[in-house]
Structure 1
């Protein structure tokens, strides 16, 4: 089933992880379930591969969604990258970037509080927003992190260089 066919099917809501699994399948992305409360997919972006992970917490009725670009931060670059993350997060309306201290993994995370009279469900448009917002922000800010980590730029220089607005057509 294609994404267009999936969008046209009746009943556009499901249990959170089931909806993500259906959405990933409609996009043609392979995914693996980690039980009823977790799903992982891998997607090729413009800059690299992203691991997408949905984690459902029934007790809180929260679906946490993570997108992890293939970026590992060496110990000697973490302070500078934390500064870059702070500047990047000021640009975001939904979600945030963070750095996991133990592993040096950079990730984008956001969550959706779900409720419903018949139990929590995730609607198609919510699933699409969660997934696409995460991928879009990773794509948008990937160059910032690369400029800081490997390009020798300060966080401010990296943001200025990565977020220039082009005018017209080439």
Structure 2
């Protein structure tokens, strides 16, 4: 299925339907259970779990990207500081750490109360933004967790702009 076919088929779809067709069009492994869908996508650094939950009664689509990072108890203070510094730089969405499991994730929500329709362009922007932010900051988290760097050092080290290709 091509993305333009997804657009034609999804004019009156609820958000989860649109995401399901989008994931299928990209050939991404995914599972749906009612108003929740989970897909798995290979990124540059790791595989991501993409999870969306539609709350029709509130008109809110919550979108999560989990970049396969678990934080041990002894590293949580440094990661919380890192998350705070990173979130200051984000316009849309935010990173957080689930306290019960130590799972790091990116979260974004879209309010669609009037007409609960998610266009394919909106879905693509939401998914791309989540993956892009996870890819952009993955090295920062790794520098803090495994490289022995402070959050500020990790951000400075991984945010260096490069030009050209090696």
Superposed counterparts of 1:1-80, under 5 Å: 1-3=1-3, 5-7=5-7, 9=8, 11-12=10-11, 14-35=13-34, 37-80=35-78
Instruction: Summarize the Cα distance change of 1:43–1:56 in structure 2 as closer, same or farther, 3 Å threshold.
Output: same
Distance 1:92 1:34, change over 3 A: same
Gaps of at least 5 residues in structure 2 are none
Gaps of 5+ in 1: none
Deviations 1:67-112 (A, max 9, x none): 0011000000000000000011111110000000000000000000
Aligned residue in 2 for 1:149: 145
RMSD: 1.5
Aligned residues: 166
Aligned twin of 2:159: 163
TM-score (norm: length of structure 1): 0.92
**1:13, 1:23 → 2: CA distance?**
15
- Counterpart pick for 1:124 among 107, 120, 123: 120
